[in-house]
Amino acid sequence: MSERRVYLDHAATTPVLPAVIDVVAATMATLGNPSSLHASGRHARKLVEEARESVAAGLGARPSEVVFTGGGTEADNLAVKGLYWARRAADPRRVRVLASAVEHHAVLDSVDWLAAEQGAKVEWLPVDAAGRLDVAALRRVVEADPESVALITVMWANNEVGTVQPIGEVVALAGEFAIPVHSDAVQAVGALPVHFADSGVTALTVSGHKVGAPVGVGALLLRREADVVPVLHGGGQERDVRSGTIDTPAIAGLAAALRATLADVPARAAAMTALRQRLVDGVLGVVPDAVLNGAPGAGLPGIAHFSFPGCEGDALLLLLDAAGIDCSTGSACTAGVPEPSHVLLAMGAPRERARGSLRFSLGHSSTTDDVDALVAAIGPAVERARAAGIVNVSTRGN
């Protein structure tokens, strides 16, 4: 394919950093299982523990609190299920799981599974029109019966609309009743300052391929005092919390990516915010009735999420794809039937508006040329999508 592609889907995955490729390749050339006692194994273990120390330093954790996983989804499952099982085992009354209604599906589906298969009583916490958790509602839910709450899980920042959640307020409230808090920080790490110790959360999820590391590696930052039942059983690696042969090259790559990404978060965020503003101004300039979703001035610096009245999001995505631009609808697709975004529905958006939405997400490789290419393409694409919608409505039932 000779045409230049404009990649505006960094929230889905971001290109692996060149320095990370070098680290992974070099580490793959080494031999040894980190759990083996011979010299090759000890060398591999040294590489893993150096990476653990690096990740811990970058995210404000102790090395012993870094549990390497196969990615963000596994880390979310381990935190949500593991904390629930441990808390319920300690006190059978603890069956309530409190989760924000805008969580990533790795959390949503884990919570739903606990309800369907493990007797959990799930309460979805409401958000406002910007997607921000209603902390007062959380307090009412907790205070109704605090002894029965197994855990609270609230993401650090939303992956679709970019809204940053009031994690400090959540942790302070939970602390009054000694309730553990898990936060999926997959989108926040590298985009915002994230310090595990200062945050007060019990468990925090990190994903490698959102920060320039390979797909298939992540971490759960887990306080030493936290009791968690493993999801995987086997050789007892990673504090006996996550068994499985340790992937030394991927872990080294994750550490390298975080070192690069976390080197100057404020400066990166400022540059990304300026680029996002150029995108927002440009899109609204050519499509004035587009609706910018999320919290104005209080969201992730690299995410701009719009609803386009009169458009189907999938149709608009394909039109932009044909114009060489990659983006995302942010909607789930079940059995071939497009469903509106659960995030926008939780924010109170009508289903039609939720179905006509697109997410543009910026990353380390994004440029002003990328943004300008989108601005040039979005107007004609919206016109065609609206025309197609009118034709479909007029011919429906014929």
Is 327 assigned a catalytic role? no
State the amino acid at position 321 in one-letter form. D
**Reduced 3-state DSSP string for the chain:** CCCCCEECECCCCCCCCHHHHHHHHHHHCCCCCCCCCCHHHHHHHHHHHHHHHHHHHHHCCCHHHEEEECCHHHHHHHHHHHHHHHHHHHCCCCCEEEEECCCCHHHHHHHHHHHHHCCCEEEEECECCCCCECHHHHHHHHHHCHHHEEEEECCCECCCCCEECCHHHHHHHHHCCCCCEEEECCCCECCECCCHHHHCCCEEEEEHHHCCCCCCCEEEEECCCCCCCCCCCCCCCCCCCCCCCCCHHHHHHHHHHHHHHCCCHHHHHHHHHHHHHHHHHHHHHHCCCCEEECCCCCECCCEEEEECCCCCHHHHHHHHHHCCEECECCCCEECCEECCCHHHHHCCCCHHHHHCEEEEECCCCCCHHHHHHHHHHHHHHHHHHHHHHHHHHHHCCC
- Please compute, for residue 72, the number of CA atoms within 13 A of its CA located in the half-sphere on the CB side: 27
Cα distances from 153 to residues 28, 36, 183, 295, in angstroms, run: 36, 36, 6, 20
Among the listed residues 333, 387, 391, 393, the single catalytic one is 333
Matching residue, tokens 């939405």:
357
Taking the C-alpha atoms of residue 204 and residue 213, their distance in angstroms, rounded to an integer, is 18
Taking the C-alpha atoms of residue 186 and residue 157, their distance in angstroms, rounded to an integer, is 8
- Residue 125: beta bridge partners? 100
Report the catalytic residues: 333
